[in-house]
Chains A and B, each alone.
Chain A
Amino acid sequence: MEKLVSPERRLLLAAAAAAVMPTRFAAAQGAHAANIAVIGEPGVLDPMTTLADLVNEIDQHFFETLYACDPSFHVAPVLAAAMPQISEDGKRYTIPLRENVPFHDGSVMTADDVVASLQRWLKLSPRAQAAAPSVEALSAPDPHTVQIALKQPYSPLIILLALFNGASAIMPKAIAAASGPLEKFVGTGPYRLLEHVPDRYIRVARFDKYASPPGKPNGFVGARTANVDELRFIPVGNPTTRADGLISGEYHFADVLTTESYQQLAGKPGLQQGTMITPGWVLLAMNTKAGLTSDLRIRQAALAAAVPGDMLAAAFGPPSLWTATGSIYPKGTDYFVADTPGYDTHDPAKARAMLKAAGYKGQPFRIFTTTQYDYMYKAAQVAGANLQDAGFTVDVQVMDWATLLQKRNDPTSWEAFVTSSPIMPDPTFFSIFNPNYAGWWDTPEKRAALENFVTAPNTEAKLAAWRRMHELFYSQVPSLLIGYYKLLYGISTKLQDFTPAQPPAFWNVSLAA
């Protein structure tokens, strides 16, 4: 018997037994850490230079901004001590700062740090480029006050400072003022960056000296508490694998699920399906600059031909996961507009008449799409079928995402492409209103409406200017808004007190044993 089980064999048997030991053992060992499966490797973590949602999701745990938004897009202070004092002419913003806010390197935040950070942001952030031409100077009249002087009023400024996307993250002056890529990730957040092993994980650990903003937590505003010792953001590119990992107990949170992977979780013990509070919308952007769709009548014909419900059903499945609504902002927000003339009329006869009036001769209506985002591909296929029913000759061109992003910059090569966006706290942050964004919507009426919105002296004037912009969106049809879809996630019941904000934040959550 002794011979049969030699020491080598014993060792091998022990190794084999250890190798197949149930995975829950490993999970129990790391009970102080929450494992969050995210959609991929974020790459460079500079919060200012990228607009990628994944980078924002991770960075917001260790970097903070002066202000933040609640779920209704109302701004509240984070590193600022209060809302800014704005001069009567709207050209000078005085921002008081909270005192004794420590950075992760042990230094304490001063107005000089904030000025240097905002200067870096104005220089590097694609998001800040809308504001940069309006900014005359930044100054620090005292260690706890920052002043922003503007050349002309720019009403979205504060909400832009509150947006964590191409974010105005506050970091120590020595780091912010250094040239070249960001090498040290030192912020004021409830977590500090511990380790980034590309394609494996990003670890952030509780910052024990964290100074939280006051107030009841509400989305991204109010008090922040790091209850969990460590958060691990684990890149898992495949949504099915993210859902599988959640079911098996390896992950506590699976981000951005597809309809199929979301449905995998239904009825599984110890798990919950979830949707983010604010939806995203999906859009058929059209080329207003050149070719077929530079003719308004062709775009109006496309609007008449479209069946948003069919596109959304194909892209997102059951109706509980999408809403066919033509308002750019959802119900319940300040910018919701009920009047959306032409949306979801599904009138192929009207579309045909418009095509005839435009002298349409069967030129191809080229729609760019990608299979990398399944919903975009499916929505484009249905959009193509809708247009074909109304007499268009449709050419759906499928390519990878990187190719699409490049090819859409050539106005001679396409008529439309499918894209999506989260709901932004300010309408001017939507790319479709940027005249340089692919689609190139830039008419005198739109320019005037946008100018009125940006320089509006008060909320009433701002809302009136927004209603005009919305009206132009439907009369000039630069794009077809298809509708809203819910952003899906899965969560373990062990991860408690999660608020489904987008991008998901994990301060204030706690982890049950």
Chain B
Amino acid sequence: MLRRLAGMLVVMFLVASVVFVIAHVIPGDPAAVMLGPSATAADVAALRARLGLDASLPVQYLSFMRAAAGLRLGQSIFLDQSVTAALAQRAPLTLQLTAIAAAIAVGLGVPVGVLAAVRRGSLLDQAATGLAMTAASLPSFWVGLTLIEYFAVRWHVLPVAGYGPPGAGPLAHLRYLILPAIAVGIPNSALIVRFTRASMLDVLGEDYVRTARAKGLGPGAVIMKHAFRNARTQVLTVLGLTVAGLIGGAIVTETVFGLPGIGNLVVSAVLRRDYPVIQGALLVISGAYVLINLAVDLLYAALDPRVRY
């Protein structure tokens, strides 16, 4: 376990270094973006100096790593707030969106996958597999724009974009998350359908399942208690990947739906070359990936007594 935690720290150090290099190697200048197209090189240089962007890269790198080690992510160049505050303000939305999308993906993916495996070769199986293929092929921005067109623009059932008016309560916020969560959840459920189906098919062919049936257990008990119980570790793997992928998928979806979450923040920060925000957000997202992986590993051990760390 200690070795795993030490490994995590090494990964985070490498991620921080790579993120810094990528953010600074790509051309572009936050001062030029802030000043707009009519600014001259002299205007840009003056603003760079005011923002402290004229320090050498090694100096900026050391200062960033020192601050990151103390969990300080610096001050946004563009927003009037610290990176930590910017992330903290936006994280709840992204977490809620991820949770709802994951619930949709799992709630749809697991039962359909199990049913498709149990009724292998039936019309239901073929329909589920075909729909899963189609859903997996749909880009989430297209799904998002289509949902907006019908549910918001034509039928006025749900809002188009944003996160609700000032002072909106949790329920009002929830309304703004339904369409984006569907847009991210549906394509991700397809992966879960396919993995659940494949894992269940593996397990359903095992001897102990035949034994369970032979001793007179009902189909529900055989499928859920014996088969799915053993298939779930593989499903858990894909679930971990899906949740991590949902955080990445939020980048596109939040942009389409104008949701002020971390994904939207990253896109804006990249376009504006807001280095501290790019670095801070990518570090936090990478940290989330690493933690999700760790959580999945720990859950393996909890679900399968054969796994020990």
Instruction: Report which A residues bind B (CB closer than 8 A).
Output: 15, 18-24, 26, 29-30, 33, 35, 40-41, 43-45, 49-53, 126, 129, 181, 195-201, 203, 232, 234-238, 240-241, 244-245, 247-250, 372, 399-403, 405-407, 409, 419-421, 430-431, 434, 436-438
Q: Which residues of B contact A247 (CB under 8 A)?
A: 153
Q: Which residues of the other chain, A, contact B264 by a CB distance below 8 angstroms? A: 199, 237
Knowing that A23-B157, A200-B260 touch, tell me 7 more A-B residue pairs with CB under 8 angstroms: A44-B80, A181-B80, A238-B161, A244-B149, A248-B152, A406-B28, A434-B40
B165: A residues at CB distance < 8 A: 26, 29-30, 33, 35, 201, 232
Q: Tell whether, in the assembled complex, residue A24 and residue B156 are in contact, meaning their CB atoms are under 8 Å apart.
A: yes
Chain A residue at minimum C-beta to C-beta distance from B152 = A248
**Residues from 267 to 289 in B contacting A, C-beta threshold 8 Å:** 268, 271-273
Report Cα–Cα, A8/B296, bound state, in Å.
Answer: 31
Q: Which one of A21, A51, A203, A406 contacts B38 once the chains associate, using CB atoms below 8 Å?
A: A51
Binary interface encoding of chain B residues 140-156 relative to chain A, with 1 for a CB under 8 A from any of its CBs, else 0? 00000100110011001
Distance in angstroms between the alpha carbons of A232 and B167 in the assembled complex: 13
* Chain A residues within an 8 Å CB radius of B33: 401-402, 405
In the complex, B290 has a CB within 8 A of chain A: no
How far apart sit A45 and B79, CA to CA, in the bound complex (Å)?
9
Closest to B43 in A: A126
Q: What is the minimal beta-carbon distance from A26 to any residue of chain B, in angstroms?
A: 7
22 A-B residue pairs with Cβ-Cβ distance under 8 Å, sorted by A, are A15-B174, A19-B171, A26-B164, A43-B272, A45-B80, A49-B47, A126-B46, A198-B80, A198-B81, A200-B260, A203-B166, A232-B166, A237-B255, A244-B152, A244-B160, A248-B152, A250-B159, A402-B271, A405-B32, A406-B29, A409-B44, A436-B42
Q: Tell me whether A241 and B28 are in contact in the complex, defined as CB-CB below 8 angstroms, given that A50-B34, A198-B81, A199-B265 are known contacts.
A: no
Known contacts A126-B39, A235-B258, A436-B42; is A198 also within 8 Å of B163 by CB?
A: no
Tell me whether A23 and B47 are in contact in the complex, defined as CB-CB below 8 angstroms, given that A372-B271, A405-B29 are known contacts: no
Contact A407–B27 (Cβ < 8 Å): yes
Contact with A402, one of B28, B164, B178 (Cβ below 8 angstroms):
B28
| B45 (CB) vs chain A CBs: closest residue | A409
Whole-angstrom CA separation of A241 from B160 in the bound complex = 7
Alpha-carbon gap, A78 to B256, bound state (A): 40
Question: Taking the nearest CB of chain B, how far is it from the CB of A305, in angstroms?
Answer: 25
Q: How far is the CA of A238 from the CA of B253 in the complex (A)?
A: 12
Q: Are B34 and A43 touching (Cβ within 8 A)?
A: yes
Min distance, Cβ A154 to any Cβ of chain B, angstroms: 18
Complexed CA–CA distance, A469 and B62 (Å): 51
> If A18-B171, A200-B163, A401-B33 touch, does A237 touch B156 (CB 8 Å cutoff)?
no
Chain A nearest CB: distance from B11 CB in Å?
29
Q: At the interface, yes or no: B229 with Cβ under 8 Å from chain A?
A: no
Specify the chain B residue showing the minimal Cβ separation from A246.
B160
Q: How far apart sit A41 and B39, CA to CA, in the bound complex (Å)?
A: 20
Q: Are the C-beta atoms of A23 and B156 separated by less than 8 Å?
A: yes
Please determine whether A237 and B38 come into contact, CB atoms closer than 8 angstroms. Answer: no
Q: Is B218 an interface residue (CB 8 A)?
A: no
B residues near A (Cβ < 8 Å) are: 26-30, 32-44, 46-47, 78-81, 86, 89-90, 145, 148-149, 152-153, 156-166, 171-172, 174-175, 178, 255-258, 260, 264-265, 268, 271-273
Cα(A236)–Cα(B44), bound, Å:
27
Please tell me if the beta carbons of B27 and A198 are within 8 angstroms of each other in the complex: no
Contacts of A420 in B (CB 8 A): 37
Tell which of B32, B41, B158 touches A20, judged by Cβ atoms closer than 8 Å. Answer: B158
B166 x A41 contact (CB < 8 A): no
Complex: chain B residue closest to A54, CB-CB: B36
Contact A51 to B171, CB < 8 A, known contacts A198-B80, A244-B160, A436-B41: no
Q: Which 3 A-B pairs have the closest CB atoms?
A: A402-B28, A199-B260, A405-B32
Residue of B nearest to A21 (CB): B175
Check A234 against B162 for contact (C-beta < 8 Å): yes
Chain A residue nearest to B172 in the complex (CB): A26
Give CA–CA (A204, B46) in the complex, Å.
Answer: 31
Measured between C-beta atoms, what is the minimum distance from B101 to chain A in Å?
Answer: 15
Docked complex Cα distance between A238 and B29 (Å): 23
Cα(A372)–Cα(B160), bound, Å: 22
Bound CA–CA A244/B260 (angstroms): 18
Q: A117 CB to closest chain B CB, in angstroms?
A: 19
Partner of B148, one of A197, A241, A431, A434: A241
| Distance in angstroms between the alpha carbons of A321 and B165 in the assembled complex | 34
Alpha-carbon distance between A50 and B39 when the two chains are bound, in angstroms: 9
**Option from B80, B158, B174 in Cβ contact (under 8 Å) with A196:** B80
Interfacial chain A residues near B157, Cβ < 8 Å = 20, 22-23
- Among A244, A248, A437, A438, find the residue whose CB has the most chain B CB atoms closer than 10 A: A248
- Residues of chain A within 8 A of B46, CB atoms compared: 126
Which partner residue on chain A sits nearest B258 by CB separation? A236
Bound: A198/B164 CA distance, A: 14
The CB with the most chain A CB atoms within 10 A, among B29, B156, B157, is that of B156
Q: Which residues of A contact B273 (CB under 8 A)?
A: 402
Q: What are the residues of chain B within 8 A of A129 when measuring CB–CB?
A: 42-43
Q: How far is the CA of A234 from the CA of B161 in the complex (A)?
A: 10
B38→A437 contact, CB < 8 A: yes
Distance in angstroms between the alpha carbons of A158 and B6 in the assembled complex: 65
| Nearest chain A CB to B253 CB, angstrom units | 12
CB-CB under 8 A for A245 and B80, given A126-B35, A405-B32: no
B161 touches A241 (CB 8 A): yes
Q: Chain B nearest CB: distance from A27 CB in Å?
A: 9
> Knowing A241-B160, A245-B160 touch, does A403 contact B79 (C-beta < 8 A)?
no
Interface centre among B41, B80, B175 (most CB of A within 10 A): B80
A203: chain B residues within 8 A (beta carbon): 166
CB neighbours (8 Å) of A45 from chain B are: 80
Partner of A431, one of B27, B38, B271: B38
B38 near A241: Cβ-Cβ < 8 Å: no
Complex contact B153–A200 (CB within 8 A): no
A420 to B36 Cα, complex, angstroms: 11
Q: Does the CB pair A198–B79 fall under 8 Å?
A: yes
**A200 contacts B162, C-beta separation under 8 Å:** yes
Q: Which of A43, A45, A372, A434 has the most CB of B within 10 A?
A: A43
Residues of chain A within 8 A of B81, CB atoms compared: 198
Which of chain B's residues have a CB closer than 8 A to the CB of A419? 37
Tell me if A19 and B175 are in contact (CB < 8 A). yes
User: How many angstroms from the CA of A203 to the CA of B168 in the assembled complex?
Assistant: 14
Min CB distance B68 to A, Å, is: 22
Please, which residue of chain A has its CB at the minimum distance from the CB of B148? A244
A248 touches B27 (CB 8 A): no
Asked if A43 contacts B79 (CB within 8 A), the reply is yes
